[in-house]
Amino acid sequence: MKTYVLILSIAYIILGSCTNSLKKTSGNEINADSLLREKLRYTVLTDMKEIHEVIDGSKILWKPTSIQLQTIESIVIQAIGEKNKNGYYKNLSAEKFRNYYKQYVCYIDKNGDSLVYLNAFCVLENLPVIDANGKASVHKFDWQHQMMFVLDGGDCYWNIVVNLTKRKYLRFSVNGVA
Phi, psi of 11 (to 5 degrees): -60, -40
Q: How far apart are CA 118 and CA 169, in angstroms?
A: 11
Helix-then-strand count for the chain, H and E: 4, 7
State the virtual CA torsion across 40, 46, 52, 53 in degrees, nearest 10: 10
**Same domain? 20 vs 44:** no
**Same domain? 19 vs 41:** no
Q: Give the three-class secondary structure for 17.
A: helix
Query: Which tops the pLDDT comparison, 165 or 16?
Result: 165
Q: Which tens digits make up the pLDDT trace of 28-85?
A: 455 556 666 666 799 999 999 999 888 988 899 999 999 999 999 999 999 999 988 8
**Same domain? 74 vs 161:** yes
> Looking at residue 51, what is its pLDDT?
93
Domain count, the chain: 2
**Same domain? 24 vs 43:** no
**Same domain? 135 vs 159:** yes
pLDDT of 109 over the 80 cut:
yes
Instruction: Report how far Cα 160 is from the mean position of its chain's Cα atoms.
Output: 14
64 membership: H or E segment, kind and range: none
In our burial notation (b when 16+ CB lie closer than 10 A, e otherwise), range 79-103 reads bbeebbeeeebebbbeeeeeebbbb
From residue 23, alpha-carbon distances to 10, 16, 34, 42, 75 in Å are 20, 11, 13, 22, 38
**Same domain? 11 vs 60:** no
Query: Which tops the pLDDT comparison, 144 or 36?
Result: 144
**Same domain? 8 vs 46:** no
Query: Which residues are paired to 172 by β-bridges?
Result: 160
**Same domain? 8 vs 75:** no
Q: How far apart are CA 127 and CA 114, in angstroms?
A: 33
Q: Which tens digits make up the pLDDT trace of 127-141?
A: 777 778 888 888 888
Domain housing 17: 1-30
**Same domain? 88 vs 142:** yes
**Same domain? 26 vs 44:** no
**Same domain? 83 vs 50:** yes
